[in-house]
Amino acid sequence: MSEKFEPTIIGFTCNWCSYRAADLAGTARVKYPPNVRLVRLMCSGRLDPTFVMKALAGGADGVMITGCHPGECHYIDQNYKALRRFLLLRRTLAGLGIEPGRVKLVWASAAEGVHLAAEITKLVEEIRALGPLNWPKWDVEQTEHQPEPALEVTA
């Protein structure tokens, strides 16, 4: 008997809109898969692309980035910055041989708990269809404390 693959997804959420949408989904008892671990950021524009790479290297099978709708950001236009980073991230992942569909960007306002839950459910199904990432896991704790190797300069 084979076990059904259950993906692990890290969700980076904007504090002002999408994190509150997730909270609304919970208080309204809207069901969505428990595969997503949410990380609250003050703004989606604050998401450093290395956070996504570390999440994938640390064992996540997919990443969801959520933020305010374009034009409605509490920090003026930072969600456009998140969009540019997202597009660059997808190209980088494709260059590394990783399916770009493993990273998804979703706009969700604080009142869209049902929409966010539907997007989470859809992403879980998409990642489940892709299968496990099977990227070699890095020991994040160990790599952060190791000094960079010295560069050898030759004349």
CATH code (residue 82) = 3.40.50
In a domain, 147, yes or no: no
In a domain, 113, yes or no: yes
In a domain, 4, yes or no: no
User: How many CA atoms does the CB half-sphere of 117 hold within 13 Å?
Assistant: 19
Provide block-wise average pLDDT over 10 residues at a time, the chain (155 residues): 84 95 94 95 95 95 96 92 96 94 97 97 96 75 57 60
59 dihedral zone (left: phi>0; alpha: psi -120 to 50; beta): left
In a domain, 149, yes or no: no
The pLDDT of residue 122 is 97
In a domain, 27, yes or no: yes
Q: Three-class SS of residue 64? A: strand
In a domain, 153, yes or no: no
The pLDDT of residue 145 is 57
Please give the tally of structural domains in the chain: 1
The pLDDT of residue 4 is 86
The pLDDT of residue 142 is 56
The pLDDT of residue 1 is 44
d(CA 131, CA 146): 32
Q: Which domain holds residue 108?
A: 9-135
